[in-house]
Amino acid sequence: MSNKLPVDLSAMNRAFFEALNPAARVELLCRLHTMTVELSERLAQNSANSSRPPSSDSPFGGIPPAGGPGGGGLGNALKGSAAAGVGTTPGTPRKPGKQPGAKGIWRCEALTAERTENHYPDRCAACGAPQELWHSDKGHSGHFVLDLERLLSGVRIACVLHRYHEIHCPCGTDTAAHPGKGLVSILAGRKQNLHLSEAGLVGPALATFIAALAVRYRLSRAKIAELLATWFGVRLSIGTIDRCIREVGLACEPIVEGLLTDLRQSGLINADETPWPQRGRLRWLWVALSSTTAIYKIASRRAEELRDLIGEAFLGWLVSDGYVAYRDHPRRQRCLAHLIRKGIGLADGLDYDAAHFGAWLVRELRALIHAVAENTKAGRLTPILARLKRACSLNEDAAAAKARALAREILNDWEAITAFVTNPGLPPTNNDAETALRHAVIARRISFGTRTDEGSQAYAAILSVVETCRRRKLDPWALVTEAVKNARRGVQTSMLPAPMPPT
């Protein structure tokens, strides 16, 4: 759009146009034409000719809605909702969840245990002698645990009573067994911090199942409560379900720290980012992945966030889009799919010269990708590179702003765009990272992001472990269940099994 004052369409009618002198009328027509061209091109954008994700396309085909979930659409929506706060009732400062002073909802029926598991102290607290079962003992505490059990024909939720005993040692000391205590998550402004402990209603396997329903299968807390009550006959509150998800995320965070080392030791990393709302704040969901490791992070869009993921000592290849945060890395492959989409956008535009350049650009970029994939000799690649560079050189001073900007962008980043030509092992596109973000983009449209830093860290940690296990052909939920069990006892699980060798 022009830098001049915007056109006031509401003040225009027949009398307004008749009152204009010829020069003013021509000037107004030119401005209206410029605005119409830009709006027409914006309405024609979709995932095939722009950087918008496929989730922004209309399910019925045709022209997709403007301001999709990628790019500026989400940012503008967050700016409008920042004052009221995401997740609150419009026009009121009411916070989500139970309000202070509200009547609580309690369990209507007492739990009935299917079996009892007894826990005894191993050694005397005073003399250190091993405790024997024939020493006098008495139960001093107990709690019910609902946990998921896998059967040959499916799964079930069992109720188990865990009883903790106190044993009297011959030395005269009474030693009691207690539930284990583990990690603690501290969140500023929260009335009660999150303490992981074995003394909880929900067992590790059921907590992992709840986190899988929320993070992997994108069910809301209310839908998870409905599913558990309808199919398993287990009624849990929304707060308990949310606590389980956060516990699983907290247990996965030490594993992610161990995965950073594996990621930085790889020779090729794909990286990408997408907008992520966090209760009225615009954050960004980053992903950095190798062939066997994937790490997600919700943070700002500064270049420091990328360095925290891949490390300053990383010397391998980085495959990314054209965002400025990636350009400091010396060995980089630029995603050609983004440039092809921009070229398609120019080819579908209304400016004749820009459309000719866009079609030329798309043709040469696709030819280059196919030629490298077919192991074409260097002598046949040189003419394609020459034509591509000539197309950009002829349009770096084009009259159309978008064509001029795209031509200069390619020329300025020429080495990164053509790196895969001299390094055939490099992928010409960043589809791997974009695919890894696809699941989160869909979840973002359903849940509108996260609300707290703790929730963002938990969501990113669970995504990292699940995607890494998928790449390593491991069962993620068995490993996460073991991690939750260890975290509640105060034992951290810091490493995942190594990836299986290719067959």
Query: Sheet containing 281-289: which strands, arranged edge to edge?
Result: 294-299, 281-289, 268-278, 317-320, 332-334
**Residues contacting 344, CB < 8 A, separation 6+:** 48, 49, 358, 362
Strand ranges for 169-267 from DSSP E: 174-176, 181-185, 194-197
Give the separation between CA 244 and CA 215, rounded to whole angstroms.
Answer: 12
Q: How far is CA 438 from the centre of its chain?
A: 8
Binned at pLDDT 50, 70 and 90, residue 80 comes out as very low
Give the separation between CA 390 and CA 412, rounded to whole angstroms.
Answer: 14
Give the separation between CA 412 and CA 122, rounded to whole angstroms.
Answer: 69
Could you read off the pLDDT of 144-178 as tens digits, one per residue? 999 999 998 899 999 999 999 888 887 878 888 88
Paired tokens of 362: 């798309």
Whether 133 contacts 121, CB under 8 Å: no
* Per-residue confidence (pLDDT) for residue 83, from 0 to 100: 38
Average pLDDT, the chain: 86
* Per-residue confidence (pLDDT) for residue 502, from 0 to 100: 57
101-110, 217-226, 434-443: least confidently modelled range: 101-110
The dihedral formed by the CA atoms of 223, 443, 302 and 316, expressed in degrees to the nearest 10: 120
Whether 49 contacts 344, CB under 8 Å: yes
Q: How far is CA 104 from the centre of its chain?
A: 34
* Per-residue confidence (pLDDT) for residue 17, from 0 to 100: 86
What is the value of pTM for the model shown? Answer: 0.81
Binned at pLDDT 50, 70 and 90, residue 226 comes out as very high
Could you read off the pLDDT of 289-306 as tens digits, one per residue? 999 999 999 999 999 999
Q: Which helix (H) or strand (E) holds 115?
A: strand 115-119
The residue count for the chain:
503
Whether 174 contacts 206, CB under 8 Å: no
Give the separation between CA 319 and CA 312, rounded to whole angstroms.
Answer: 16
Which class for 443: exposed (0-12), middle (13-18), buried (19 or more C-beta within 10 A)?
A: buried
Binned at pLDDT 50, 70 and 90, residue 406 comes out as very high
* Per-residue confidence (pLDDT) for residue 6, from 0 to 100: 63
Could you read off the pLDDT of 96-128 as tens digits, one per residue? 777 788 887 777 778 899 999 998 888 888 787
CA-to-CA separations, 342 to 48, 51, 218, 375, 499, in angstroms, rounded: 9, 8, 32, 26, 37
Could you read off the pLDDT of 447-465 as tens digits, one per residue? 889 988 999 999 999 999 9
Give the separation between CA 298 and CA 256, rounded to whole angstroms.
Answer: 13
